[in-house]
Amino acid sequence: MKSFTYERARTPQEAAAAAERQGAKFIAGGTNLLDLMKLEIETPVHLVDVNGLALDRIEATEEGGLRIGALVRNTDLAADQRVRRDYGLLSRALLAGASGQLRNKATTAGNLLQRTRCPYFYDTNQPCNKREPGSGCSAIGGFSRGHAIVGASDACIATHPSDMAVAMRTLDAVVETVRADGEARQIPIADFYRAPGDTPHLENVLSPGELITAVVLPRPVGGVQVYRKVRDRSSYAFALISVGAIVQKDGSGHVALGGVAHKPWRIEEAETALPRGARAVTEQLLADARPSRENAFKRPLVERTLAAVLTQARA
């Protein structure tokens, strides 16, 4: 780990201002950032600790939704009565992730911003455009079983590993931020993550120093809410694929996928096919899929898992 300076910010704005300088980073739970720093994949020169910002509350919004503070721990968010009652998908997605100990530390904002689990990204001897822009992508033509099948680019085929983000995308969450100049923004989660394109190291639309203050959930939409994570072992493993779904009595609903793309994968138009079943939805969701030989199984797996989820939701 390279040496760095450290400060504890007292207000969101102060934090954003402090983090604007070159090489500065926020640290929340540290469960992702510290691992990356140990391997020198992230090499911040200055850490702005946001844990003291009092952004750890879950409050009702005037619109009838919930405002989840950026520092609410994954454990607390999953256990919140309102979340469990009205946004069961979110609770289930959170509990499908990591382990109890990690969820106790992991925060809402940190979870959204966790970085990929591509094994080449973690090995600094290997070319990786996400870690070192322009160096190449080792996963293409290499070990790509866990990688993206859709929305990827010739520069990067990594997936976004978060379970929570899949739920947030399905639930149409909005990310609230404050910038270094004090300006606040609201970013719909649909616009929050970038496609890898030629710049896979840029993963979202935040500007330098921009601090996530909260994630806002709209009014509850009801329906049966299912999160199904498919993995090689029963727990403590990242998703091969996952399906987040909200299914209404009339057969309409929302669907997003994890483990298939650089971001939670949702195409709203595909949802119109929901009454026709999993195959029709999958065909649209994965119309542009370009799997490798190693991860071609993800396509049928998505379809089968979605079919199971729909059956479960309609039972």
Partner 1 sequence: MRFDTPSGTNPIDQLKVVGHALDRIDGPLKTTGTAPYAYERHDVAPNQAYGHVVGAAIARGRIASMDLAAAKAAPGVLAVVTAENAGKLGKGERNAARLLAGPDVEHYHQAVALVVADTFERARAAGNLIKVNYVKEAGAFDLEAARPGATVPKDGPFGPSVSSVGDFDGAFAAATVQHDATYTTPDEAHAMMEPFATIAAWEGDNLTVWTSNQMVNWGLLDLAKTLDMPKEKIRMVSSFVGGGFGGKLFLRSDALLAALGARAAGRPVKVALTRPLMFNNSTHRPATIQRIRIGASADGRITAIGHESWSGNVRGGGPENAIQQTRLLYAGANRLTATRLAVLDLPEGNAMRAPGEAPGLMALEIAIDEMAEKLGMDPVEFRILNDTQVDPEHPRRPFSQRQLIECLRLGAERFGWAKRNPKPAQVRDGQWLIGHGVAAGFRNNLTVKSGARVRLDGRGVVTVESDMTDIGTGSYTIMAQTAAEMMGVSIDKVVVHLGDSRFPVSAGSGGQFGANSATSGVYAACVKLREAVAQKVGFNSNDAVFSDGTVQQGNRRVSLAEAAGSGGLSAEDSIEFGDLSNRFQQSTFAGHFVEAAVDADTGEVRVRRMLAVCAAGRILNPKSARSQVIGAMTMGVGAALMEELVVDKRSGFFVNHDLAGYEVPVHADIHDQEVIFLDETDPMSSPMKAKGIAELGLCGVGAAVANAVYNATGVRVRDYPITLDKLIDGLPV
Ligand X SMILES: Cc1cc2nc3c(=O)[nH]c(=O)nc-3n(C[C@H](O)[C@H](O)[C@H](O)COP(=O)(O)OP(=O)(O)OC[C@H]3O[C@@H](n4cnc5c(N)ncnc54)[C@H](O)[C@@H]3O)c2cc1C
Check residue 139 for interaction with ligand SF4 (CB under 6 A): yes
Check residue 234 for interaction with partner 1 (CB under 8 A): yes
List 194, 231, 248, 277, residue binding partner 1 (CB under 8 A)? 231
Distance (Å, rounded) from C-alpha 107 to C-alpha 72?
Answer: 5
Q: Which of residues 29-48 bind partner 1 (CB under 8 A)?
A: 38-40
Closest CA to 148 of 304, 278, 257, 279: 257
C-alpha angle 162/163/166, rounded to 5°? 95
Query: Which of 192, 238 has the CB closer to partner 1?
Result: 238
- Sheet containing 241-247: order of strands: 224-230, 241-247, 253-258
> CB of residue 129 vs ligand SF4: minimum separation in angstroms?
4
> CB of residue 257 vs ligand X: minimum separation in angstroms?
14
> Can you give the binding site for ligand X, defined by CB under 6 A?
25-33, 35, 50, 70, 97-98, 102, 105-107, 109-111, 113-114, 161-164, 211-212, 238
Query: Which of 233, 250 has the CB closer to partner 1?
Result: 233
Exposure string over 44-53, b if 16+ CB within 10 A, otherwise e: beebbbbbeb
Which parts of the chain fold into alpha helices (H)? 12-19, 33-38, 74-79, 81-86, 88-95, 100-105, 108-113, 164-170, 189-192, 278-285, 298-314
Distance of CA 271 to the CA centre of its chain: 20
Distance of CA 101 to the CA centre of its chain: 19
- Tokens 């999958």 -> residue: 282
Q: Which part of the chain contacts ligand SF4 (CB under 6 A), choosing from 42-50, 82-90, 156-164, 177-185?
A: 156-164
Distance (Å, rounded) from C-alpha 118 to C-alpha 290?
Answer: 18
Check residue 109 for interaction with partner 1 (CB under 8 A): no
List 48, 240, 285, 286, residue binding partner 1 (CB under 8 A)? 240
Closest CA to 23 of 45, 47, 50, 1: 45
Q: Which of residues 101-120 bind ligand SF4 (CB under 6 A)?
A: 116, 118, 120
List 6, 21, 63, 236, residue binding partner 1 (CB under 8 A)? 236
Binding mask 292-311 for partner 1 (x = CB under 8 A): -----x--xx--xx-xx---
List 28, 72, 156, 278, residue binding ligand SF4 (CB under 6 A)? 156
Q: Which of residues 211-230 bind partner 1 (CB under 8 A)?
A: 230
